[in-house]
Amino acid sequence: MKHFFVAFFVIMSFVMSRIFTFCQSQQPGPTEGEPIPTIKPVAIEETSEDGQGNTDASTNLPTITDPAMYNTEDVSNERKVFVAKALEYLGTPYKYASTNASGMDCSGLVYRSALDALDIKLPRSTKTLAEHCTRLLSSQEPQVGDLLFFNTTGSGISHVGIYLGEKKFIHAASSGPRIGVIISSMTETYYKNCFLFYASFLK
């Protein structure tokens, strides 16, 4: 009886090994000379929420090292310097009524960038800043370094940003999925809906 179980175990081991070898041979593999395929990472498209529950793709937003948005012949040097200084504050936390690198609000970003880059002391609040600037006509195209004013509260001028070109602008956001000094696009639904006008304090 003992010999029977030993023989049975040996036979079953042989049969299982043959079955395993057969299954392995049936799986597809790379042909000779063909490289073994690798898994490529999936590129995730960045999005930004507009504050009203809608999400828009933020395509090719410029960065600090991207000169294409302001480095053109028809942009004055003071506009380039002003925008370059504002971009240095990208990522700065939002802080109401503050104008320094530890935190700033929307008008604080404009104030600090103009003061540091051009030694120009602008009005500190968004409303007085709008009154100080020259509004662009609806037929005029904005230039790099112009300001954008928004009604984000429903009660008039309440937010300001700095135009970078290509419908992009830098500003200090106080709410939403991204807070602090960020770059946004005028193609985003929220900003299109609350936009008021362009204005400038530069020539």
Provide the annotated active-site residues.
Answer: 106, 159, 171
Query: Which residue's entry shows tokens 């395509």?
Result: 59
Q: Which residues pair with 198 in a beta bridge?
A: 148
Distance CA 114, CA 78 (A): 10
How far is the CA of 187 from the CAs of 84, 137, 146, 177, in angstroms? 22, 20, 17, 17
The 3-state DSSP class for residue 87 equals helix
* Nearest in space to 105 (alpha carbons), one of 120, 89, 83: 89
